[in-house]
Amino acid sequence: MKSIDELQAAVRVFTDERDWGQFHTPKNLIMALTGEVGELSEIFQWLTAEQAEQLDSQQRKHASDELADVLIYLLRLADVLGIDLSRAVQDKLAANSRKYPIDQARGNATKYTQLNAPADTE
């Protein structure tokens, strides 16, 4: 299994070998990332919830390819912006742990701003 840093380095090498860095501005990478997320969502667009959970082999391969594209652009964007994704994820999980305490959030899809809201007494 490769680490995030190793994957990011591989994407950087791939980009550098093709001299594509000149095109990889944050804006362009965000646009590309958004496009790839759109392509991923197309796979599921008209499926029922059950169908989405039981993709056939062709749909799974297509989803795998699109997920890889999303990750590649995300890794590249973080690299260009100088963001340590491992640290960012750890920091975000810590923040989310404070926002969503287990005793209040377990099995509950309520947004954190509403978890501790007092009940409406009117």
- Name residue, tokens 């390819």: 65
Is 4-107 a domain of CATH 1.10.132.20?
no
SS3 percent helix, strand, coil of the chain, rounded to 5, is 75, 0, 25
- Say if CB 85 and CB 78 are below 8 A apart: yes
pLDDT of residue 82: 97
The mean pLDDT of the chain is 94
Q: Does pLDDT of 117 surpass 90? A: no
Mean pLDDT of 99-114: 90
Domain range summary for the chain, segments of one domain joined by +: 4-107
CA distance 50 to 46: 11
Determine phi and psi for 118, rounding to 5 degrees. Answer: -65, 150
**If pLDDT is split at 50, 70 and 90, which confidence band does 113 have?**
confident
pLDDT of residue 116: 73
Tens digit of each residue's pLDDT (9 = 90 or more) over 35-92: 999 999 999 999 999 999 999 999 999 999 999 999 999 999 999 999 999 999 999 9
CA–CA distance from 115 to each of 25, 51, 103 (Å)? 39, 32, 10
Q: Distance from CA of residue 113 to its chain's centroid? A: 23
Indicate the Cα dihedral angle 4, 93, 38, 31, nearest 10°: -70
- Name residue, tokens 């959970």: 53
Length of the chain in terms of residues written? 122
